[in-house]
């Protein structure tokens, strides 16, 4: 017997917020839409979930198909769900957004229903309401805010440094991600005061012409206690 329902059908999609640091700026991965609606507009990579597919699997697949970038085996986390009735002009659509904040990601190549793929500065993407299709501006804003928070309570910032780094180099990661300038002395005291966050290597940096700075490496802790909040580091 065929199943019938009084409820109208709706669709489930996934969208990906992929952030990295490129050219000393926080950048997000976006695609140029190849079809309607919003043909030619920028959007976050994503698409429809297959009937036999888990949500996280769909997010990784869509990202690979539309941009050529694989995050298989890397840290990708669920960000939030979005279900405003008018968010998709075609039909009722619920989207589950995923977040990845990763270093050393390659140049994207547009594929599937994306005519092109690009890295764009987050500040440029968020500066105007019409730069991203659907409700992707709000999704990107939420993803950036989650990334900002993750810098406060995890060791995420060290993943954007070399294996051995100076505190000034780590500070620059925080400044780029947060979009603020931080006091060097205060930052040094706070970072080195968190147990297990960074450890001295016993070596000095030979970079530049100034006084050699001490080199550090990431410590064993993944969660920072106390957290390095923007308020305390400013």
Whether residue 156 sits in one domain with residue 123: no
Whether residue 172 sits in one domain with residue 112: no
H or E, element range at 164: none
Tens-of-pLDDT digits for all 234 residues of the chain? 566 677 778 899 999 999 999 999 999 999 999 889 999 999 999 999 999 999 999 999 999 999 999 999 999 999 999 999 999 998 899 999 999 999 999 999 988 777 899 999 999 999 999 999 999 999 999 999 999 999 999 999 999 999 999 999 999 999 999 999 999 999 999 999 999 999 999 999 876 666 888 999 999 999 999 999 988 887
Whether residue 164 sits in one domain with residue 92: no
Whether residue 123 sits in one domain with residue 178: no
Whether residue 199 sits in one domain with residue 108: no
pLDDT at res. 111 = 83
Question: The tokens 């199943």 sit on which residue?
Answer: 3
Whether residue 111 sits in one domain with residue 47: yes
pLDDT at res. 179 = 95
pLDDT at res. 113 = 77
Give the integer Cα–Cα distance in Å for 142 and 147. 9
Whether residue 71 sits in one domain with residue 161: no
Report yes or no on 220 lying in a domain. yes
pLDDT at res. 3 = 65
Give the integer Cα–Cα distance in Å for 66 and 203. 43
Whether residue 206 sits in one domain with residue 103: no
Q: Tell me the two tokens of residue 199.
A: 């450890």
pLDDT at res. 112 = 76
Q: Tell me the two tokens of residue 156.
A: 């995420």
Please give the model's pTM, rounded to 2 decimal places.
0.93
User: Is 145 in a helix, a strand, or coil?
Assistant: helix
Whether residue 176 sits in one domain with residue 83: no
Is the backbone peptide bond immediately before 37 cis, with ω within 30 degrees of 0?
A: yes
Total number of domains constituting the chain: 2
Range of the domain at 17: 11-131
Report yes or no on 138 lying in a domain. no
Whether residue 168 sits in one domain with residue 115: no
Report yes or no on 146 lying in a domain. no
- Give the CATH number, domain containing residue 56: 3.90.79.10
Whether residue 73 sits in one domain with residue 174: no
- Give the CATH number, domain containing residue 168: 1.10.10.10
pLDDT at res. 211 = 80
Whether residue 167 sits in one domain with residue 58: no
Report yes or no on 91 lying in a domain. yes
């Amino acid at each position: 017997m065929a199943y019938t329902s009084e409820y109208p059908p709706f669709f489930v999609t996934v969208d990906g917020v992929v952030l990295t640091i490129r050219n000393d700026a926080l950048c997000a991965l976006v695609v140029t839409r190849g079809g309607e609606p919003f043909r030619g507009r920028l959007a976050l990579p994503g698409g429809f979930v297959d009937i036999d597919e888990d949500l996280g699997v769909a997010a990784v697949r869509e990202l690979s198909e539309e941009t050529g970038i694989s995050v298989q085996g890397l840290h990708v986390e669920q960000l939030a769900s979005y279900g405003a009735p008018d968010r998709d002009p075609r039909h009722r659509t619920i989207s589950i957004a995923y977040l990845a904040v990763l270093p050393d990601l390659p140049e994207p190549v547009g594929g599937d229903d994306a005519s092109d793929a690009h890295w764009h500065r987050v500040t440029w993407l968020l500066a105007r309401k019409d730069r991203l299709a659907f409700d992707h501006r709000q999704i990107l804003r939420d993803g950036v805010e989650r990334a900002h928070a993750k810098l406060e309570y995890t060791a995420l910032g060290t993943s954007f440094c070399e294996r051995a780094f100076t505190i000034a180099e780590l500070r620059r990661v925080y400044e780029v991600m947060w979009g603020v300038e931080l006091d060097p002395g205060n930052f040094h005291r706070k970072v080195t005061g968190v147990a297990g966050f960074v450890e001295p290597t016993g070596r000095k940096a030979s970079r530049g012409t100034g006084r050699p700075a001490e080199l550090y490496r990431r410590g064993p802790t993944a969660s920072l206690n106390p957290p390095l909040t923007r308020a305390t580091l400013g």
